[in-house]
Structure 1
Amino acid sequence: MEIDKNVEMLTVDQQELHPSLSDNEDPLLSRSRGIFQLIIFSIIGITTFFIPFTINDKSTILFDHIASYLVNDLHSLAVGLLFLLMAYGAIKPIVTGKYKESITHAILSFAKVAGLILAGLYVLGMAPDVIMEKDMMPFLFEKLALPVGMIVPIGALILASLIGFGLLEMIGVLMQPIMKPIWRTPGTSAIDAVASFVGSYSIGLLITNRVYLQGHYSTREAIIIATGFSTVSAAFMVIVAKTLGLMEFWNLFFWSTLIITFIVTAITARIPPISQERNDDADPAAQALADVKGNRLGAAVELGIETSRRSSNLPKIFWCNFKDGLEMAAAIVPSIIAVGLAGLLLDKYTPVFEILGLVLYPFTFISGLPDPLLAAKGISAGLAEMFLPALLLSEADFVTRYVAGVVSISSILFFSAMIPCILATKIPLSIPKMLIIWLQRTILSILLASAFAHLAIAVGWIG
């Protein structure tokens, strides 16, 4: 059948993540188990990530409650676990020799070591007074590094329910008809796009790079996906929302950010420099085989069941996701402290972000933000580290905080992690081109996010 052929083609790239079934297993029993797992784990993932619960007068999503309990009620344990993560993240590039690969890797490796040392000095009370002010290291460590260190691994563990048992693949197939006309990418990129958004930019880039090298994407398509869909994970979005005081409107923030990000991607795909990239170097046969024909809903359901059916080793699936979360937290947290502190010091004692913010000022001004210069200055810091706008604008008015949150996610590119990750792939994208794409995405995100924020307030969706 046509659906069976489509399902077979679409599951090729998923088999590495989903252990094959035993040859002796009854197909009917395995199919029943696949349906059961698909339903149960989808419910668990959706409930945990998107339904707020009120506990101790605090309303937020369930896994944020768990992470908050660790940070607030088991603070000493959380700090100990965080230092183990940071030590691993700082030492690993040295032991593996990754710091030798390029100047960028060397700088990032140095930043991780510096972050570990700074965190140690802070906890021991030995840090210089200039960085012990409450809006410096205390804020970075207690309000950012510690929650990130707890939320990312827990979020990655829970994400297995959303991405490991067929729901992701079902959404990908159902989205395929709109991918080419809107984002100018082939149908199979739907799975890549959703995986990048709900998973992590590093995993998303690995998938994009692999599929690009296999000839399924042209150069232009690979760049569109890498710079347009590879956002930070949903777990990081929670940190941004918490820092900016937006968790009360979590679902509104999450879904509007997703939509705005994808609208911006549709626009940047049609303008230089992306529109000028090669679009004739993909393998036509590979792209044609990936297009679903016939009953799309049926193909989506069958692919979801088949993916779930192959997910037979539950401990391995959850452990692999948890391990990925630990690796990501270990790599990100020490660099967040070092780069974040550098950004805060630059903001407080130099005019760097004021100068960069002048480029964005016309757009924050026409967007009707109450303090457009402050907003432009804070948002511009996102080029160095995606968390900096949240840190610098955490005390601003609601509209500015919302816009800063959306832009920090939707702009995609930042020097502390994302740009080096792209440089490590085979996707031909230079730093100057990435800077232009960052500016385009930031400007478009400011305009769209501010328009939506004003609309949401006017119609009563907020406050």
Structure 2
Amino acid sequence: IYLIIRIIGAVITIIVFFQVGPAWLYSADTGGTMMGLLCTLIAWFFAASFLIPLLMDYGIMDYTGTLIRNFLWPLFRLPGRAAVDLCASWIGNCNVGVVLTSTQYEQGYYTARESVLIATCFSAVSLPFCLVIAALLGVEQYFIPFYLIMTATGIVSVVIMARIWPLGKKYPDEYYEAVGKQIHEIEPEGMSKRRWAYLQAVTKAAEGPTVGGLLYKGIDMFLGIIFTLVPITMCVGTLALVLSTYTPIFNWISMPFGYYLQLLGVEDAFAAAPGTVVGFADMFIPAVICSNIPSIETRFIIGILSLVQIIFMSEVGSVMLASKMPIKFLDLVIIFLQKTIIAIPIIVLLTKIFVSF
């Protein structure tokens, strides 16, 4: 299936690059958008391919993970080393977060459940992109509460989703079969947590690659991403944008969310409804289609929601499907809808309490 998708992606790339064939495939709203995104993605992936080994192979995650395991496990049911991953995913680029998480799974540091939970719930977009979305929706003057409510909603929604199906129940707590369990965060009896964290970090750093090994690993990772993820992203992302731009499918799907928003007292509920689901195609589209809604409060809510949803097929969704994590397309649909249903009332409540328009 991935071979077929890559071939289709290659064909679409040629059509878009040379602008031949059907115009709806290479227009600025569909293939043209994806071609522009790919340039940014390739730059991010190039940097990430050399930075990710620095996080993983020299003891940072081992030291941090051992120290704060008792904090992360009760809250998110995740190992302590996930803290570095969560920060890199939430603050940095979303695709970098997914690649880092997938690599940790393949190396035996996350179980299937842990890797899918992190990839689908913490791979947020960068801070500058959040500012772009806020500006596009005309709410940039409220950016500080905008970002704080987005962060609070993200945390609360993950606490809930980590304990319910599918993220909390469907995926096994089993490590990647090819390598087995490689994580050892629980300190031995009679040894302090800090001392065990230090020993784990030093041991990992001693086994880390040399400068030449680091460069080789980075180049290998980058080329793997380019030939594996880029054509898949081009294929899935372009087709998703075609559906969003030229068909009413997202308008039909969003009807129940119109009533949901109306029930929660959101103004212009049905005008905003498509913005609640079209983010599955691309995170930028909700801001585009909702930028003309009269209510500032509604634009504020939709902007936060689009950033909290995280899963969008033009980038992150495609990267997840191409990874070795045990996640399927239908799983992404279910998790996206579930997160949307959980996040909307949290965003609406926090907005009405803390923001005065």
Q: Quote the residue 1:352 is aligned against.
A: 249
How much has 1:243 moved relative to structure 2?
2.0
In structure 1, distance between residues paired with 2:173 and 2:331: 20
Q: 1:409 aligns with which of 283, 295, 307?
A: 307
Give the whole-Å Cα distance in 2 for the aligned partners of 1:341 and 1:193: 29
The corresponding residue for 1:361 is 258
TM superposition shift of 1:175: 5.5
Aligned to 2:144: 251
Shift of 1:340: 7.8
Compute the displacement of 1:238 (Å): 3.2
Structure 1 residues 148 and 392, CA gap change in structure 2 (3 angstroms): farther
Q: CA RMSD in A?
A: 4.8
AA matched with 2:118: I
Aligned pair in 2 of structure 1 residues 251, 281: CA closer, same or farther (>3 Å)? same
Partner of 1:39 in structure 2? Answer: none
- Residue aligned with 2:168, SS: helix
1:386 to 2:256 alignment: no
**Does the Cα contact within 8 Å between 1:173 and 1:190 map onto a contact in 2?**
no
Q: Deviations over 1:2-37 (max 9, x none)?
A: xxxxxxxxxxxxxxxxxxxxxxxxxxxxxxxxxxxx
Corresponding letter in the other structure for 2:284? F
Inter-partner Cα distance in structure 1 for 2:313 and 2:237: 14
Pairing of 1:125-140 with structure 2 (within 5 A):
137=28
Residue 86 of structure 2 corresponds to 193
Q: Is 1:453 aligned with 2:336?
A: no
Q: How many residues are matched? A: 333
Q: Deviations over 1:359-387 (max 9, x none)?
A: 32232222221111121112211111121
Per-residue deviation at 1:183? Answer: 0.9
Give the alignment partner of residue 180 of structure 1, picking from 73, 89, 99. 73
Q: 1:199 to 1:246 in 2, by over 3 A?
A: same
Query: Quick one: distance in 1 between partners of 2:75 and 2:113?
Result: 14
Q: In the TM superposition, what is the alpha-carbon distance from 1:171 to its structure 2 partner?
A: 8.0
Offset, 1:235:
3.8
Counterpart position of 2:319: 421
Alignment CA distance shift 1:366-1:105 (3 Å): farther
Change (3 A) 1:138 1:389: closer
Measured at CA, do residues 151 and 393 of structure 1 come closer, stay the same or move farther in structure 2, by a change above 3 Å? farther
User: Shift of the alpha carbon at 1:356?
Assistant: 0.6
Change (3 A) 1:113 1:388: farther
* Cα 1:256–1:339 shift into 2, 3 Å: farther
User: 1:102 — aligned with what?
Assistant: 3
Q: Which runs of 5+ in 2 are unaligned?
A: none
Residue 101 of structure 2 corresponds to 208
Deviation at 1:336, TM superposition (A): 11
For the pair 1:276 / 2:176, whether they are aligned, the reply is no
Residues 222 and 141 (structure 1 numbering): CA distance in 2 closer, same or farther, change over 3 Å?
closer
Structure 1 position 180, deviation (Å): 0.7
Shift of 1:409: 1.9
Distance 1:351 1:204 in 2: 32
Residues of 1 paired with 2:133 and 2:165: CA distance? 30
- SS of 1:428's equivalent in the other structure is coil
Contact 1:111/1:335 (8 A) holds in 2: yes
Report the secondary structure of 1:274's partner residue. Answer: coil
Q: Is the 8 A contact 1:379 1:404 kept in 2?
A: yes
In terms of Rg, which structure is larger? 1
Cα 1:207–1:395, aligned 2, differ >3 Å: closer, same or farther?
A: same
Runs of at least 5 residues in structure 1 that lack an aligned partner in the other structure: 1-99, 122-126
2:333 is equivalent to residue 435 of structure 1: yes
State the one-letter code of the partner of 1:345: T
CA contact (8 A) 2:311 2:336 kept: yes
Cα distance in 2 between the residues matched to 1:448 and 1:377: 19
Which one of 214, 225, 246 corresponds to residue 118 of structure 2?
A: 225
Distance 1:420 1:273 in 2: 19
Contact kept, 8 Å, 2:65 with 2:79, in 1: the verdict is: no
**Offset, 1:271:** 1.2
Residue 268 (structure 2) pairs with residue 371 (structure 1): yes
Deviation at 1:441, TM superposition (A): 0.7
Q: Give the TM-score normalised by the residue count of structure 1.
A: 0.57
CA distance in 2, matches of 1:104, 1:139: 17
From 342, 348, 356, the counterpart of 1:444: 342
Cα distance in 1, alignment partners of residues 181 and 308 from structure 2:
33
